[in-house]
């Protein structure tokens, strides 16, 4: 995964924009700009994606007993014609690939924070 800041934004980084690129074991990448539209510290960030993915994303953080959980809602659609055309047949491969990329992201975030990675259900 690669993230590049394109715009710094204002207070609480609202208006900031990031170019995001995801790669996986399947030989294609997904690239999009993510613009932060809403921040409520410390528990919410939301924004929109435009590019190979288009739609909205929202992160909500909850803390209980010293453990923080992150709920990530990602309501996007792909804009790559070939991907949309093959989706009905390739759904199992795309699902596997998505789960792999999300696991890598969780592991990377845990490493960055120096936190143990808890098993998901």
pTM of the full structure? 0.82
Spell out the domains of the chain, with CATH numbers in brackets: 2-113 (3.30.530)
Does residue 53 sit in helix, strand or coil?
strand
Across 71-93, average pLDDT? 92
Nearest to residue 32, comparing CAs of 92, 98, 77? 77
Across 20-41, average pLDDT? 92
pLDDT-derived band of residue 33, with 50, 70 and 90 as boundaries? very high
pLDDT-derived band of residue 120, with 50, 70 and 90 as boundaries? low
């Amino acid at each position: 995964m690669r993230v590049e800041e394109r715009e710094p934004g204002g207070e609480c980084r609202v208006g900031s924009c990031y170019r995001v690129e995801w790669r996986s074991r399947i030989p294609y990448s997904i690239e999009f700009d993510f613009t932060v539209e809403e921040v409520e510290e410390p528990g919410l960030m939301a924004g929109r994606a435009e590019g190979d993915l288009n739609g909205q994303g929202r992160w909500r953080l909850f803390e209980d007993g010293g453990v923080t959980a992150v709920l990530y809602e990602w309501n996007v659609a792909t804009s790559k014609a070939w991907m949309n055309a093959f989706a009905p047949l390739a759904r199992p491969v795309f699902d596997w690939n998505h789960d792999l990329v999300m696991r890598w992201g969780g592991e990377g975030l845990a490493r960055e924070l120096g936190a143990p990675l808890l098993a998901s259900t």
